[in-house]
């Protein structure tokens, strides 16, 4: 199997206008939306070819707005920028917003080919604010969802061929935005790509609105999918992609595999991820709707203790940060402490239930085999 960089090197000399738009192209454009393009845009320069962003960003310190390691993202961006297929695409209308009040983290950018355009919504960056907003979709429509809808309305105004896509929280934003578009505007969109993003909370939004986009949407999740299984949207064209990553690392687009120029697909999700998803969705369902805002506020207040604004700092294992977080959680309400202890209990119970079910299935299978053998012996 190949990776996304291999795909770019293989297809790099062929413009999309010549070959047509492929699924790996959507994955790569959504991955590129994680690049911090702010230095490439000025008041005078509102659009720029991707290839011209490379020297600017490298000169200003290239930043990838994700939680965790970004090396492979940087490699894919640099490879894409140097290729004809992606390097000649024009970027425009770059938006990057981060604010604590109201809680909002939103970023989007348009990529333009000769006769087509792609709106890419960035997923969650490493900011505490961004992750807090992710949790907020469990009890309210978020500011980012509304911004995504308005961004689509503002740009889907001409007769070009339009595509939309997003990864992680960006997938949730494109799901919400496209499903809420007026019919005339939605008709301008040829296809929508939902890349391992959560669905819509049924207690907040009527999930039946997603039926409006089902005929022109493709949902792609990795074998080990957690984020994309939360409030799992019912999209008929749902596919499972193979990944070079392990466990939750498969969520990263840079780990997705290519086979002969196409995404490498798998038959089913990993059993462990299915168990975790069941536990997470049950955990969220156990939290009453009115209690969810309290839990989210107190939990992220604890994470932000000491002025921490970037989750990468916590992931690097600063014990002073972790110790302060645990102390703040211990001082939070009984509700928050109960919610946090409920997840391990549910996960353990689900594990026990699955083992019990497997044992019962095995016992039933052996009983049936024994019965079949006895019947055969009587027949003889």
**Final residue of a structural domain among 241, 270, 299:** 270
Indicate whether 276 belongs to any domain: no
Of 243, 270, 297, the one marking the end of a domain is 270
- Judged against a pLDDT cut of 70, whether residue 367 lies above it is answered with no
Asked if residue 72 is part of any domain, the answer here is: yes
Tell me the sheet residues that pair with 199.
none
Supply the pTM of this predicted model: 0.83
Q: What is the pLDDT of residue 374?
A: 60
What span, in angstroms and rounded, lies between the C-alpha atoms of 151 and 248?
30
Q: Residue 21 is encoded by which pair of tokens? A: 């738009």
Asked if residue 68 and residue 34 are part of one domain, the reply reads: yes
In a domain, 199, yes or no: yes
256 and 116 fall within a common domain? yes
Please give the radius of gyration of the chain, using alpha carbons only, rounded to the nearest integer.
Answer: 23
pLDDT digits (tens, 9 = 90+) for 62-74: 999 887 778 899 9
For 295, the domain range is 287-379
Cα(129)–Cα(368) distance, integer angstroms: 56
230 and 367 both lie in a single domain: no
State whether 135 and 228 are in the same domain.
Answer: yes
How confident is the model at residue 66, as a pLDDT?
A: 81
- Residue 105: what pLDDT? 87
Residues 259 and 300 in one domain: no
pLDDT at 371: 67
**300-350 pLDDT tens trace:** 677 666 666 666 665 555 555 667 766 777 777 787 777 777 765 655 565
Q: Are residues 116 and 186 in the same domain?
A: yes
Residue 34 and residue 152 in one domain: yes
373 confidence band (pLDDT: 50, 70, 90): low
Distance CA(74)–CA(88), nearest Å, equals 18
Return d(Cα 228, Cα 174) in angstroms, integer.
Answer: 13
Residue 140's pLDDT is: 82
Q: Which residue has the higher pLDDT, 316 or 122?
A: 122
Q: What is the pLDDT of residue 331?
A: 76
Domain assignment present for residue 277? The answer is no
93 contact partners, CB below 8 Å, separation of at least 6: 46, 108, 109, 110, 151, 155
Number of domains comprising the chain: 2
Does residue 116 form part of some domain? yes
The band of 127, judged by pLDDT with boundaries at 50, 70 and 90, is: low
SS3 76: helix
> Do residue 212 and residue 337 come from a single domain?
no
Same domain, 8 and 37: yes
Q: What percent of the chain has pLDDT over 70?
A: 79
Average pLDDT of the residues of the chain: 85
Instruction: State pLDDT tens for residues 139-191.
Output: 788 899 999 999 999 999 988 999 999 999 999 999 999 999 999 999 999 99
Verify that 265 and 348 share a domain, yes or no. no
- Average pLDDT rounded to a whole number, residues 230-256: 92
Which CATH number belongs to the domain containing residue 66 in this structure? 3.40.50
Burial track 341-380 (b if 16+ CB lie within 10 A, e otherwise): eeeeebbeebeeeeeeeeeeeeeeeeeeeeeeeeeeeeee
> Does 258 lie in the same domain as 310?
no
**What backbone phi and psi angles, to 5 degrees, belong to 348?**
-65, -45
- Residue 275 included in any domain: no
**Tell me, what's the pLDDT at 349?**
61
Residue 279 domain-assigned (yes or no): no
- Same domain for 70 and 126, yes or no, is yes
Domain assignment present for 187: yes
Domain end position, chosen among 270, 296, 320:
270
pLDDT digits (tens, 9 = 90+) for 246-290: 887 888 999 999 999 999 999 999 888 887 778 777 777 778 888
């Amino acid at each position: 199997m190949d990776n996304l960089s291999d795909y770019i090197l293989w297809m790099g000399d062929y413009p999309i206008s010549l070959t047509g738009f492929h699924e790996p192209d959507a994955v790569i454009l959504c991955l590129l939306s994680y690049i911090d393009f702010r230095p490439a845009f000025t008041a005078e320069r509102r659009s720029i070819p991707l290839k011209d962003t490379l020297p600017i960003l490298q000169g200003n310190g290239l930043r990838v707005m994700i939680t965790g390691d970004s090396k492979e993202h940087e490699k894919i961006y640099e490879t894409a920028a140097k290729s004809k297929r992606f390097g000649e695409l024009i970027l425009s209308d770059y938006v990057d917003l981060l604010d604590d009040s109201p809680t909002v983290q939103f970023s989007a950018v348009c990529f333009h080919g000769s006769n087509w355009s792609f709106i890419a919504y960035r997923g969650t960056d490493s900011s505490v604010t961004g992750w807090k907003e992710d949790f907020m979709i469990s009890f309210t429509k978020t500011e980012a969802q509304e911004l995504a809808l308005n961004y689509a309305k503002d740009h889907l105004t001409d007769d070009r061929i339009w595509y939309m896509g997003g990864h992680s929280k960006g997938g949730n934003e494109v799901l919400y935005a496209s499903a809420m578009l007026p019919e005339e505007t939605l008709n301008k969109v040829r296809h929508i790509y939902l890349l391992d993003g959560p669905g819509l909370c049924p207690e907040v939004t009527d999930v039946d609105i997603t039926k409006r986009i089902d005929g022109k949407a493709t949902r792609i999740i990795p074998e080990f999918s957690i984020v994309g299984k939360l409030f799992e949207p019912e999209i008929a064209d749902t596919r499972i992609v193979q990944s070079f990553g392990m466990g939750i690392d498969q969520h990263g687009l840079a780990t997705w595999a290519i086979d002969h120029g196409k995404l490498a697909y798998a038959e089913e999700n990993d059993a462990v991820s299915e168990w975790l998803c069941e536990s997470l969705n049950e955990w969220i369902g156990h939290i009453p709707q009115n209690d969810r805002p309290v839990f989210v506020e107190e939990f992220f207040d604890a994470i932000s203790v000491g002025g921490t604004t970037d989750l990468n700092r916590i992931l690097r294992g600063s014990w002073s940060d972790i110790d302060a977080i645990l102390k703040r959680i211990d001082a939070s309400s009984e509700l928050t402490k109960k919610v946090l202890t409920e997840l391990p209990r549910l996960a353990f119970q689900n594990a026990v239930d699955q083992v019990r079910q497997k044992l019962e299935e095995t016992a039933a299978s052996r009983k049936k085999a024994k019965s079949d053998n006895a019947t055969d012996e009587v027949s003889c």
